[in-house]
């Protein structure tokens, strides 16, 4: 989670090698270098970086405009469930005030020329975010997808079993 300009600047440095950044140079052990077989990897790696940061608090939204000015950040993912908690609506990312903040953030991110993204597990909300121009929308959480399938299987093979639906953000 990024909340301040300083944290965002550190993220930019953390994904780059010196002198532009602070990442360690143990690339011989990394798949990204094909185990040290890419010529000039250290000199060219920065050309292939896509840094997406996550904003999921009121503090992050308050600093969003300044964060968006930072060179090296390619996109911002809004964490609406955690944002709802910091706004006082824990577990309710669809609360009107949270949705207003999310829409505003997406519009500001898009206006800055950076990619906007979000997690949305509800069809209507997903369609709204896509219509706003979000470039990446996560439409499921692995554990939630698995639990939903398991609930369906339980209901299919044990129709009398109590099936507890999950509540909350995801």
- The answer to whether the CB of 4 falls within 8 A of the CB of 63 is yes
φ/ψ (deg, to 5) at 76? -130, 130
pTM of this prediction? 0.86
Domains of the chain in start order, with CATH, are: 5-13+51-139 (3.20.20.60), 141-169 (no CATH)
In whole angstroms, give the CA distance from residue 128 to residue 103.
9
In whole angstroms, give the CA distance from residue 116 to residue 114.
7
- Name the residue among 55, 42, 52, 53 with its Cα closest to residue 16: 42
The tens place of each residue's pLDDT in the chain, 170 residues long, gives 999 999 999 999 999 988 899 988 876 667 778 888 888 888 888 888 999 999 999 999 999 999 999 999 999 999 999 999 999 999 999 999 999 999 999 999 999 999 999 999 889 999 999 999 999 999 988 998 899 899 999 999 999 988 787 766 66
Return the structure tokens found at 91: 């577990």
């Amino acid at each position: 989670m990024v909340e301040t300009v300083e944290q965002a600047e550190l993220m930019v440095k953390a994904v780059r090698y010196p002198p532009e950044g602070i990442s360690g140079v143990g690339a011989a052990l990394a798949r990204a270098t094909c185990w040290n077989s890419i010529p000039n990897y250290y000199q060219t790696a920065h050309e292939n970086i896509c840094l997406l940061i996550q904003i999921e608090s009121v503090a992050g939204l308050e600093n969003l405009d300044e964060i968006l000015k930072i060179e090296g950040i390619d996109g911002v993912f809004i964490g609406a469930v955690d944002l709802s908690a910091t706004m006082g609506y824990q577990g309710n990312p669809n609360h009107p005030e949270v949705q207003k903040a999310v829409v505003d953030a997406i519009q500001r991110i898009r206006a800055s020329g950076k990619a906007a993204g979000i997690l949305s597990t509800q069809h209507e909300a997903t369609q709204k975010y896509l219509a706003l121009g979000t470039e990446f929308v996560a439409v499921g959480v692995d554990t939630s997808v698995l639990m939903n399938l398991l609930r369906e299987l339980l209901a299919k093979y044990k129709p009398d079993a109590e099936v507890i639906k999950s509540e909350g953000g995801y």
